[in-house]
Amino acid sequence: MNLIERAKETAVWLQQKLGEGIETAIILGSGLGDLADDIRDAVRIPYKDIPYFPVSTAIGHKGNLVCGMLGNKKVLAMQGRFHYYEGYMMQEVTFPIRVFSFYGIKHLIVSNAAGGMNPDYHVGDLMIIKDHINLMPNPLIGQNMEELGPRFPDMTRAYDPEMIKMAEEVARELEIKIHKGVYVGSTGPTFETPAEYKYFSAIGGDVCGMSTVPEVITARHAGIRIFGMSVVSNEAYTFGEDYKNDGEDVLIEGKKAAVKMTAIVKGLINRL
């Protein structure tokens, strides 16, 4: 069975299980899975029970699809995602997006924990992703399936300007400080060397991470509108004697910032 057939079958399976008419999906990044606890009347489906879904292995990623009410809308939330560094092929990393597309999702909200390279950014800060730089293999490499989207997708406004504006309004109303910047996506799993952080910053990045970009590219290909947010989990610009990176810290800072992120996501969803 090819990718389209598999994704369609999974979408139909989900429609039978959860009903139709859900238009918003959310991907929760490292340490940010707690947002799903705010989903009311939740139906939780482990990835291992979903046809053709990969199973997530990354630490801090739970591996459930959670469906229910968030704010005033019914949503589908991925508690845990698939990373390229785990050894999945890009088609597997982005398979859920293909499923969402066939399911009828119109808006995708993506989140991640990221290293802050902009010296104005501090641990626990939030950043609206206004653009990205892709340093991973492009998930659309290979024969293009016209049914899924165009051969050469436009990436000029990959992050939906209207959704950005709405989220900024929400942040202002809630008096939550929020940055807006560029996410650099690289494969990992190593954290960057100081020279690499400086390089990512020099080419225009404000934060960097090991996820999000493949899903965003695939969602753009499918014509889904995207909003992205990063939580700054480490300050990658001083490199003093005691500077070091640690995967556990990423999760801890994600958890702390999840409350602010949840408030903004809810506010945004209410306005969609």
When binding is defined by CB under 6 A, the residue of 10, 94, 101, 234 that contacts ligand HPA is 234
Q: Does 38 bind ligand HPA (CB under 6 A)?
A: no
Q: Measuring CA to CA, how many Å separate 58 from each of 101, 189, 252? A: 24, 11, 15
Nearer to ligand HPA, 76 or 236 (CB): 236
From the list 114, 127, 163, 167, which residue makes contact with ligand HPA (rule: CB under 6 A)? Answer: 114
Residue carrying structure tokens 């799903």: 36
- Considering CB under 6 A, how many residues would be counted as binding ligand HPA? 14
| Residue 86 DSSP symbol | G
d(CA 213, CA 69): 27
- CB-wise, 19 or 189, nearer to ligand HPA? 189
The DSSP output letter for 211 is S
Core vs surface per residue 52-85: b (16+ CB within 10 A) or e: bbbebebebbbbbbbbbebbeebbbbbbbbbbbb
Q: Which stretch binds ligand HPA (CB under 6 A): 72-80, 144-152, 164-172, 230-238?
A: 230-238
- Which residue, among 22, 37, 8, 2, has the nearest Cα to 255 in the 3D structure? 37
Q: CB under 6 A: which stretch of 47-55, 108-116, 172-180, 215-223 binds ligand HPA?
A: 108-116
By Cβ distance, which residue is nearest to ligand HPA? 115
Name residues contacting ligand HPA, limited to 180-209 (CB under 6 A): 188, 191-192, 208-209
Contacting residues toward ligand HPA, per CB under 6 A: 113-115, 188, 191-192, 208-210, 233-234, 236, 245, 250
